[in-house]
Structure 1
């Protein structure tokens, strides 16, 4: 058992101590919003970081249809945008009133904070046209759900493939997507609208035509919220839940080819993994999902961690392999972003910048050696920057007969190894990226990921991964990094010194990459972490400390599965499948095994 300790006094002496503002842009190397985002877009198509609630997917079609059937062309027609907005505001305020001033359980009710404030006024009626619950011109529909609903084929539009994820450094869709005009539902959209209509048809808001009025009584809104709210989808009166299940799982006439089929299989995989973790007493999260897909194992127990092999149904093997490629990319992202943490720290208190050739002289090799031994209870076999990748890999337990020998289990450390990708990533994101040995731990993670990748990701899935690289220079991905190393050093790159390897890697994939991202998208309107003047890197007095790679769509998928009644959360056990979820998964897996 390895005990990870706090840095010793010797290491503390070389730590940086000035506190700087953290970078507000979450993706300084473009690793989360380029290749990773494209992979996630295919794997969880139409489920995005800003669309985590299932009921919005049926509510908005209903709002459009109700406006079209009951208001469009009438003498008091407010127009499509205002009409749909009024219905959205009725749902938001009604849900908050129903929950005694609080938002729906599970959150993500757009405009719930202003609604909670308005509810405190305890008015008898509310002017829903005068009240503005969100800044976006089309409310939560335009800000978040429009892209996903277009891509699902809910509307009759010229394009059914638009960008559905939030624009960089925002929590809203890009302005170009928000500007797309939609007005008429497709047959699929009408199915969703009709199902939601069944859920709310007995409310006064619907049956007495309050949806067309400027002022709406509080009791009418409260009743409507008790049927139309986001978390009310779990009640027996929610007729739309079954249709939403069919839509998300790409069945019963909803779109099922291409990325829609990938979404279906990803959701089935998540349900299966939750059940596997549940049986082993492990709380499911993104790390557990990564462990299952990447290692095919889970670590069970805190006092005596024990690896347990996970066997997935054969019908889920294809989608699990694609998620393995995704998580391989994420390990690369953590390693490179940890190098960036090191660089940002080095630039502190050095207003004149640092020349490329002097970069590593500002990292203490003796301090790396001390901290490394504290963490792993073993010595580095030499000065870190003069060691080779092979030296570090040998120390980890990886042995290679030749520079290109990556075809066997010898390059695939078990999940419980203190030097496995999982262990190294955990160290980095738990704070070691900000310590002096961060560069060494990141280098080990970098080398492990590169060498495991060719053996772990089969050719068809490698090709699939590589197809998501649109710009070989700006889109960092494992194949491109391997090509660069082989091009610079030949196949024997693992026998070159860390100084040589990391100099090339950090300059190309950290320094130049951050510069490229800063120019390309203005770094979200924020100052970049540094500027480059020839071979000098000059800091901008902004820090970067968190190297973790995000899987934002998975978080939304878990909430949607909760909304659909297939999983639930409690503080003791985390996520678990419901009995309904067990039945649903079993039936869907049988369908996958049946000949079409």
Structure 2
């Protein structure tokens, strides 16, 4: 019998993210509520610039040399970023309006210093596909392939060719590209791309390409507005959800009291509590109330996730001895959970909470916790979540973190409405949650089981649930991607922590910052005299349309 053997490649060790899978439902939710905007599509100008760039290339060159296309594309990608940064430096120095999140900015911005000394800048030095210290991006089609391609395809603005070539769509991409072409010095742009060398004067000549000028390009602006707010109902339910979420953000910008800026933290707190920072009720138009309720579910899931991530971090720190003499041997997750729940630290925490059972803790929370509307109160679940994130650091005293985690979970049980499905109105099925054992549905069920259990036994169950779930999630990632994201593993020497870094608790990023930036680029949000983000006149008009 002939046998063939080969070496098995070891898995690639990776820090990974979402070690409990608790953030996955959050990603599902904000993906439904803000489709067409992602965590890497930051600027409205790229939604129109990339279709224009390919369309404009077609007007000048034969499309038969892919390497030629890639070279010009990369130079153009670099040039746009340089234009935006130069425009910031010669106008108001506001990165928020001009250069923020432009592709390759980290590598390209320092090069402007040499231009100011009179030295010309060669675009190809940064646009090269060779691995050099100056290369602005590894991906051959730069920011398009890395960030925008999928989104632009979903929005029917660009298509992918079987020849590894990117194309604009004739129905929507070409008209948008033509609108851009009517408002920018396209010929001059391509002359600079061809010449390769660029000067400060040329960057100033091309300032019309800066992202801040989208609002002044009337046809382009209207088409982008039609896309983001789906004024023609082109994108069906996805377009409706995006329009309503953008309208909700605009409503909050309009409603915020003096002294409060439109930040992600404020958005989270307000959609969760339906209350403004000054304690006043946030009056939301009827058409947007279901959208607000969906965002509240997102925040609720994220708060639950932060509490469970904190429990995981606490467990890993306790399992990670500072010296060999301090090492305890636990041959199973259950053995560690029993030891931890019976430790003096946990006993002190449970004593301070003053509740014999989890049901007692929930009853105390129902009687004494701040009102849902009182989200600026330090004891509110919104604040507890931020305290868990901000309070974590290696070697931290775990007692207050464990106390806050238990209080936060009890408060979420208190706020739960058993008459509503946890993900009511959202397209999240049991099948979609199969690989994510800790979610709002399972948490409701587990919370019901905990009601008659002592807090010590609840801590034991929490620890087992967290550690078992981490092992399950990491094993699934290993099977699917050959990446090892284990932070804990069973061994002949008992449970061992993998790596030196305990993953800290963190929130998900729900595309809010990108949505606000896009609204800025469209001229619908702007800084007022006190530097707070507020609605503009055009933004108010669009908000009213989105709110009916």
State the TM-score, normalized to the length of structure 2.
0.82
| CA pair 285-469 structure 1, distance change in 2 beyond 3 A | farther
Offset at 1:504?
2.5
Contact 1:53 1:230 in 2 (8 A): yes
Structure 1 partner of 2:460? 503
Residue among 191, 197, 216 paired with 1:210? 191
- More divergent stretch after superposition (47-56 vs 97-106): 97-106
Contact 2:435 2:473 in 1 (8 A): no
Structure 2 partner of 1:28? 19
Contact 1:241 1:564 in 2 (8 A): yes
Deviation string for 1:491-532 (max 9, x for gaps)? xx3111123233233322x21222233233359956532113
SS at match of 1:45: coil
| CA pair 233-413 structure 1, distance change in 2 beyond 3 A | closer
Structure 2 partner of 1:245? 225
**2:125 maps to 1:136:** no
Structure 2 partner of 1:514? 470
**2:410 maps to 1:447:** yes
**2:219 maps to 1:269:** no
Deviation string for 1:432-488 (max 9, x for gaps)? 694313222212212322342334x844952525338514243532012333555xx
Residue among 181, 193, 210 paired with 1:229? 210
Contact 2:37 2:511 in 1 (8 A): yes
Deviation string for 1:157-196 (max 9, x for gaps)? 599xxxxxxxxxxxxxxxxxxx975324231112321221
Contact 1:567 1:577 in 2 (8 A): yes
Contact 1:283 1:575 in 2 (8 A): yes
Quote the Cα distance in structure 2 between the aligned partners of 1:440 and 1:180.
Answer: 54
**2:39 maps to 1:66:** no
**2:83 maps to 1:94:** yes
- More divergent stretch after superposition (550-559 vs 353-362): 353-362
Deviation string for 1:100-159 (max 9, x for gaps)? 599773511111232234334434463538733211111011111111111111124599
Quote the Cα distance in structure 1 between the aligned partners of 2:337 and 2:89.
Answer: 58
Residue among 362, 366, 370 paired with 1:397? 366
Offset at 1:27?
2.4
| CA pair 124-397 structure 1, distance change in 2 beyond 3 A | closer
Deviation string for 1:550-587 (max 9, x for gaps)? 22411111111111111124695532222332232124
Structure 2 partner of 1:381? 354
SS at match of 2:280: strand
**What is the RMSD of the two structures over their aligned residues, measured on CA atoms?**
3.6
| CA pair 223-427 structure 1, distance change in 2 beyond 3 A | closer
**2:307 maps to 1:340:** no
| CA pair 311-125 structure 1, distance change in 2 beyond 3 A | closer
* Aligned residue pairs, count: 510
Residue among 330, 335, 338 paired with 1:357? 335
Map of 1:176-215 to 2, 5 A cutoff? 181-200=165-184, 202=185, 204-206=187-189, 209-210=190-191, 213-215=194-196
| CA pair 465-295 structure 1, distance change in 2 beyond 3 A | farther
Structure 2 partner of 1:568? 526
**2:388 maps to 1:425:** no
Structure 2 partner of 1:170? none
Quote the Cα distance in structure 2 between the aligned partners of 1:129 and 1:187.
Answer: 36
Quote the Cα distance in structure 2 between the aligned partners of 1:121 and 1:114.
Answer: 13
Structure 2 partner of 1:112? 105
Instruction: Extract unaligned runs of 5+ from structure 1.
Output: 1-22, 160-178, 301-306, 374-378, 400-408
Structure 1 partner of 2:429? 467
Structure 2 partner of 1:304? none
Contact 1:368 1:437 in 2 (8 A): no
Residue among 511, 515, 518 paired with 1:553? 511
State the TM-score, normalized to the length of structure 1.
0.75
| CA pair 120-479 structure 1, distance change in 2 beyond 3 A | same
